[in-house]
C-alpha cells in the first residue's frame, strides 16, 4: 500500500454510536472514508469485511457498527476497531495534545454514561416500532427502501425490528428513566462545577461529544442527523428533561459545533 494512512469507517448514518466516531475523527482532523451500513442487508458483508467465517464462533455473535478499518504502512499494517470508544481513543492518541491515561479513563466514564442514556432511547424506539412498523420504515430503513410500497418495506422492517429487539434485549433492559435522570444530574453537576460550558476541565472534549449526542436523542436539535422517533408517532411526547433545562441549553450550544458529516443535507 502507499505511504498514506487510510481509515475506512463502516457506519450507520443516524446511529448515535456512529455519530460519536464520525464527530471525533472530524475533530481530530483524521480523514476517513464513510461506508454506510444497512441493517440486515449488510450483515454477511460486515462479517466478510472483518474476515469472519461461519466456522468461527465470532461469526455468529452480535456485531455492531461503527467499525474502523485502519490501514497503515508496514510494519503496522491493518488495525480493526469495533467499538466507538476504541475508535475515539485511537483518534485522540493521534491528536495534540494527546490525553493522559487518567484523562482517557475519565472520558471512558462519560462514554459509559452516554451509553446508558442511549440504551434508554433505543429501547423506547423498539417499543414504538413494535407497536407501529412505520416508525422503523421512517427511521432506520435505507432511502431506497422507503420509496417502495409499505406492504414490502413494512414486512422487511417488521422482521428487522424483531431481530433488532432480540439483538439488544440485554442492553435495552439496563437503562431506565431513573438511570437517565441520574445521568442528567451528573451532567448538571459537572457544568456547575466548571464554567457551565464543558464537562471536563473547562474545555471541549470527547465527554461533551458523547453526552450531547445522548441528550440529543431525548430532545432533538433541528438539522442533526440522528435517529429519533417522529413526533407524529408520539401520542403524548414525554419531556424527560423537563427538570434539566440547563442541560438542554448546554446541549444546544454544543450542537452548534456539529460537523457537516452529521448534519442533514
Block residue for cell numbers 439483538: 167
Half-sphere exposure (Cβ direction) of 148: Cα atoms closer than 13 Å: 13
pLDDT surpassing 60 at residue 102: yes
Q: Could you tell me if 233 and 141 lie in one domain?
A: yes
Of 123 and 4, the one with more pLDDT: 123
> In the sheet that 6-11 helps form, which strands lie side by side, from edge to edge?
33-36, 6-11, 67-72, 77-81
Q: Could you tell me if 163 and 208 lie in one domain?
A: yes
H or E element at residue 17? helix 16-27
pLDDT surpassing 80 at residue 117: yes
User: Which among 52, 67, 93 is the end of a domain?
Assistant: 93
Q: Are 92 and 28 in contact (CB under 8 A)?
A: yes
Instruction: Report, as an integer, the average pLDDT of 115-126.
Output: 95
Say which range, 35-39, 68-72, 220-224, 242-246, has the weakest mean pLDDT: 35-39
Please state the pTM of the whole predicted model. Answer: 0.93
Q: Could you tell me if 138 and 249 lie in one domain?
A: yes
User: What is the reported pLDDT for 236?
Assistant: 67
Model confidence at 173, pLDDT cuts 50, 70, 90, reads: confident
pLDDT surpassing 60 at residue 1: no
Q: Are strands 67-72 and 6-11 parallel, antiparallel or unpaired?
A: antiparallel
User: Which among 48, 70, 93 is the end of a domain?
Assistant: 93
Residue 63, domain member (yes or no):
yes
Q: Could you tell me if 145 and 218 lie in one domain?
A: yes
User: What is the reported pLDDT for 58?
Assistant: 81
User: What is the reported pLDDT for 237?
Assistant: 64
Q: Could you tell me if 194 and 115 lie in one domain?
A: yes
Residues with Cβ within 8 Å of residue 73, at least 6 apart in sequence: 1, 2, 3, 5
> Range of 253's domain?
101-262
- Written as nine digits, the cell of 239 is 419531556
Q: Could you tell me if 55 and 165 lie in one domain?
A: no
Q: Is the dihedral of CA 97, 101, 103, 108 positive or negative?
A: positive
In tens, the pLDDT along 32-63 reads 999 999 877 788 888 888 888 888 888 888 78
Instruction: Report, as an integer, the average pLDDT of 118-137.
Output: 95
Q: Could you tell me if 195 and 238 lie in one domain?
A: yes
Write out the E strands in 43-177: 67-72, 77-81
Q: Could you tell me if 136 and 215 lie in one domain?
A: yes
Residue 1, domain member (yes or no):
no
User: Which among 93, 116, 137 is the end of a domain?
Assistant: 93
Model confidence at 136, pLDDT cuts 50, 70, 90, reads: very high
User: What is the reported pLDDT for 39?
Assistant: 79
Q: Could you tell me if 35 and 76 lie in one domain?
A: yes
pLDDT surpassing 60 at residue 154: yes
Amino acid at each position: 500500500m502507499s505511504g498514506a494512512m487510510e481509515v475506512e469507517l463502516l457506519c450507520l448514518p443516524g446511529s448515535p454510536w456512529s455519530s460519536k466516531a464520525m464527530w471525533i475523527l472530524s475533530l481530530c482532523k483524521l480523514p476517513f472514508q464513510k461506508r454506510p451500513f444497512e441493517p440486515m442487508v449488510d450483515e454477511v458483508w460486515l462479517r466478510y469485511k472483518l474476515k469472519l467465517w461461519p466456522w468461527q464462533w465470532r461469526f455468529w455473535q452480535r456485531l455492531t457498527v461503527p467499525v474502523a478499518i485502519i490501514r497503515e504502512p508496514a510494519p503496522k499494517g491493518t488495525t480493526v476497531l469495533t467499538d466507538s470508544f476504541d475508535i475515539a481513543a485511537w483518534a485522540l492518541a493521534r491528536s495534540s495534545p494527546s490525553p493522559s491515561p487518567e484523562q482517557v479513563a475519565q472520558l471512558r466514564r462519560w462514554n459509559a454514561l452516554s451509553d446508558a442514556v442511549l440504551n434508554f432511547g433505543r429501547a423506547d424506539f423498539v417499543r414504538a416500532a413494535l407497536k407501529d412498523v412505520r416508525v422503523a420504515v421512517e427511521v432506520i430503513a435505507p432511502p431506497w427502501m422507503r420509496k417502495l410500497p409499505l406492504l414490502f418495506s413494512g414486512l422487511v422492517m417488521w422482521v428487522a425490528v424483531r431481530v433488532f429487539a432480540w439483538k439488544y434485549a440485554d442492553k435495552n433492559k439496563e437503562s431506565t428513566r431513573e438511570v437517565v435522570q441520574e445521568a442528567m444530574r451528573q451532567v448538571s453537576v459537572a457544568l456547575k462545577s466548571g464554567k457551565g460550558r464543558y464537562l471536563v476541565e473547562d474545555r471541549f472534549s470527547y465527554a461533551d461529544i458523547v453526552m450531547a449526542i445522548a441528550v440529543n436523542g431525548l430532545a432533538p436539535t433541528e438539522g442533526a442527523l440522528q435517529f429519533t422517533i417522529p413526533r407524529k408517532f408520539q401520542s403524548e411526547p414525554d419531556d424527560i428533561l423537563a427538570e434539566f433545562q440547563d442541560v438542554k441549553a448546554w446541549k444546544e450550544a454544543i450542537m452548534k459545533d456539529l460537523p457537516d458529516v452529521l448534519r442533514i443535507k
